[in-house]
């Protein structure tokens, strides 16, 4: 448990991007960008960059000896903003909670995450709660931008120079929109494992905001007929925007409850949900989950009851997925959680409930095996 908690609270060792294979990508642009940063940090080389397969770019950390003069003032940000900063993001205005009134534009500031979630937005005096240092950068907004206008502020509030994790700060916007996407390696692997082919009919059941949908479409060279569903129109609008930015035209998007995406009526329409049984060659079930696997996890308020609640919806969705899947089709199930209930136990449940489903190895297979003694044999783990 201690090992697991420590691992969860650590930032991954590298940043990963997915490259849109439908667009041009010139790595020199990124190298130049990092070179400029290396001058600011006083380092004489840039972090290692390499490609995994054709479309995943890995960028490693700055060296351990990179030494940065701390700022004079403290900016307090909420926990999700602090997490993003550790992953290499700038501080965006909605995440800022407190900033001293004396702070000046472009001043060097230290950024802290509010671990207790008790800092009041707009606080003027030093924050007394538990906080964690997440990095140093230059202030780009003042208090009146952030707290006084009466509307939700937007834009970069602190231009980060170096996060405490030493991951490089790379804004996707150094490339035109839709050319690269900041995406965790495990999420990229999901797209590789599904391996969409141009002639395959594919269903992405829980698709918003569409980061995996775009990957599937790009892998199939924008040819596979893909259906992307998510619960609400607000969510599916995000998918549509994402598809447009990526230059993808092969995906149909519907707001729909995927629990009901299968109809028993074999005469059912194949052009919109619900679909008859035995419709799709491949199904992606990137299930709603507890997210207890997203790193770094700085503070978490999830209760055991909430943790146990996800399996119910996951099972309902799985049930529908199995029905719409063609005989000999492939179903990829993924979560961004590490709990047994959502992973190993879920697969054990599936194999028991659907004797016609067979567990096959993921290809490529990265990472370690699943946990032992919870319903799966060693080769299944
Ligand atoms: C892990 S997120 C999906 C992330 C997405 N696959 C991606 O890579 O960008 C899970 C999604 O499932 C959606 N969801 C939850 N219940 C659903 C349901 N019954 N039908 C369809 N979508 C659902 C949520 O709205 C959420 O967008």
Instruction: Evaluate: CB of 230 within 6 angstroms of ligand 1.
Output: yes
141 domain residue, yes or no: yes
Q: Does residue 7 form part of some domain? A: no
Asked if residue 366 is part of any domain, the answer here is: no
Is 207 labelled as part of a ligand binding site? yes
- Number of C-beta neighbours around residue 42 at 10 A: 10
Cβ atoms of residues 257 and 233 within 8 Å:
no
Q: Same structural domain for residues 213 and 343?
A: yes
State the closest ligand 1 atom to the C-alpha of 288, by its place in the atom list counted from 1: 10
Domain harbouring 348, CATH code: 3.40.50.150
pLDDT of residue 267: 67
- At 148 the pLDDT is 83
CB of 229 closer than 6 A to ligand 1?
A: yes
With a 6 Å cutoff on the Cβ, whether 181 touches ligand 1 is no
Pocket of ligand 1 contains residue 207 by CB under 6 Å: yes
ipTM, two decimals, is 0.99
295 Cβ closer than 6 Å to some ligand 1 atom: no
**377 belongs to a structural domain:** no
* Same domain as 159, residue 124: yes
3-state secondary structure of 16: strand
**Which atom of ligand 1 approaches the CA of 242 most closely?**
9
Question: Looking at residue 225, what is its pLDDT?
Answer: 98
Q: What is the pLDDT of residue 268?
A: 58
Q: Say which CATH number the domain at 131 has.
A: 2.30.130.10
Is ligand 1 within 6 A of the CB of residue 231?
A: yes
262 is catalytic: no
> 121 and 245, same structural domain?
no
Q: Which of 180, 208, 225 is the last residue of a domain?
A: 180
- The answer to whether residues 246 and 263 belong to one domain is yes
Alpha-carbon distances, residue 328 vs 207, 259, 280, 357, 360 (angstroms): 23, 21, 10, 9, 12
Q: Could you tell me the distance, in angstroms and rounded to a whole number, from the CA of residue 85 to the centre of ligand 1?
A: 25
- The whole-number pLDDT of residue 324 equals 97
116 is in an annotated binding site: no
Q: Are residues 254 and 288 in the same domain?
A: yes
The rounded average pLDDT for each run of 10 residues, N- to C-terminus, in the chain (381 residues) is: 90 96 94 94 94 96 88 94 96 96 94 96 94 96 88 92 95 90 96 98 98 98 98 98 98 98 78 94 98 92 91 98 98 96 96 97 92 93 94
Ligand 1 atom closest to residue 335's alpha carbon, by position in its atom list: 1
Whether residue 370 is contained in a domain is answered as: no
Q: Are 331 and 206 in a shared domain?
A: yes
Distance 208 CA to ligand 1 centre (A): 6
Judge whether 26 is annotated as a binding position: no
If asked whether residues 191 and 289 sit together in one domain, one would say: yes
Indicate if 214 and 330 belong to the same structural domain: yes
Phi-psi region of 295 (alpha: psi -120 to 50; beta: other; left: phi over 0): beta
Whole-model pTM over 0.90: yes
- Collect all residues with Cβ–Cβ distance below 8 Å to 284 and sequence separation of at least 6: 190, 194, 202, 203, 204, 205, 212, 216, 331, 332, 334
Are 131 and 82 found together in one domain? yes
Q: What is residue 269's predicted lDDT score, i.e. its pLDDT?
A: 63
pLDDT of residue 285: 98
362 labelled ligand-binding? no
- Domain assignment present for 4: no
83, 194: one domain:
no
- Residue 94: domain span: 73-163
Domain match, 208 and 280 both: yes
Tell me which residue has its CA closest to atom 5 in ligand 1: 207
Q: Which of 206, 227, 321 to mutate to test the pocket of ligand 1 (most atoms within 8 A of CB)?
A: 206
Q: Is 211 annotated as a binding residue?
A: yes
Q: Are residues 230 and 305 in the same domain?
A: yes
Return d(Cα 160, Cα 179) in angstroms, integer: 22
Amino acid 32: pLDDT: 95
Task: Give the pLDDT confidence score for residue 1 in this predicted structure.
Answer: 83
Distance 286 CA to ligand 1 centre (A): 7
Assigned domain for 230 exists: yes
Q: Is residue 231 part of a domain?
A: yes
Last residue of a domain, one of 151, 180, 209: 180
Give the number of domains in the chain. 3
């Amino acid at each position: 448990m201690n090992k697991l908690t420590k691992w969860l609270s650590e930032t991954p060792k590298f940043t990963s991007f997915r490259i849109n294979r439908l667009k041009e990508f010139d790595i020199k642009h990124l190298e130049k960008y990092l070179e400029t940063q290396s001058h600011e940090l006083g380092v004489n080389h840039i972090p290692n960059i390499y490609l995994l397969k054709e479309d995943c770019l890995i960028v490693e950390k700055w060296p351990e000896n990179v030494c940065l003069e701390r700022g004079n003032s403290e900016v307090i940000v909420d926990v999700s903003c602090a997490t993003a900063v550790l992953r290499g993001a700038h501080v965006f205005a909605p995440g800022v909670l407190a900033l001293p009134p004396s702070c000046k534009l472009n001043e060097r500031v230290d950024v802290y995450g509010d671990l207790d979630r008790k800092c009041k937005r707009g606080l003027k005096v030093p924050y007394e709660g538990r906080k964690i240092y997440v990095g140093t950068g230059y202030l780009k907004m003042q208090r009146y931008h952030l707290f006084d206008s009466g509307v939700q502020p937007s834009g970069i509030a602190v231009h980060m120079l170096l996060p405490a994790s030493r991951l490089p700060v790379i804004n996707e916007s150094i490339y035109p929109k839709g050319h690269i996407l900041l995406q965790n390696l495990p999420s990229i692997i999901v797209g590789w494992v599904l391996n969409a082919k141009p002639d395959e009919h594919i269903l992405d059941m829980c698709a918003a905001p569409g980061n995996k949908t775009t990957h599937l479409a790009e892998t199939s060279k924008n040819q596979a007929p893909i259906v992307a569903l998510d619960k609400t129109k607000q969510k599916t609008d995000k998918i549509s925007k994402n598809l447009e930015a990526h230059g993808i035209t092969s995906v149909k998007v519907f707001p729909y409850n995927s629990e009901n995406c299968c109809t028993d009526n074999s005469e059912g329409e194949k052009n919109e949900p619900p679909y008859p049984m035995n419709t799709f060659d491949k199904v992606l079930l990137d299930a709603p989950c507890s997210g207890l696997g997203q790193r770094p996890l700085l503070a978490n308020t999830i209760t055991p009851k909430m943790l146990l609640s996800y399996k119910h919806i996951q099972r309902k969705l799985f049930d529908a997925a199995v029905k719409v899947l063609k005989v000999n089709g492939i179903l990829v199930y993924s979560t961004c959680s590490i709990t047994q209930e959502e992973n190993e136990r879920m697969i054990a449940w599936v194999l028991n409930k659907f004797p016609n489903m067979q567990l096959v190895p993921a290809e490529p297979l990265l990472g370690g095996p699943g946990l032992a003694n919870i319903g799966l044999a060693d080769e299944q783990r």
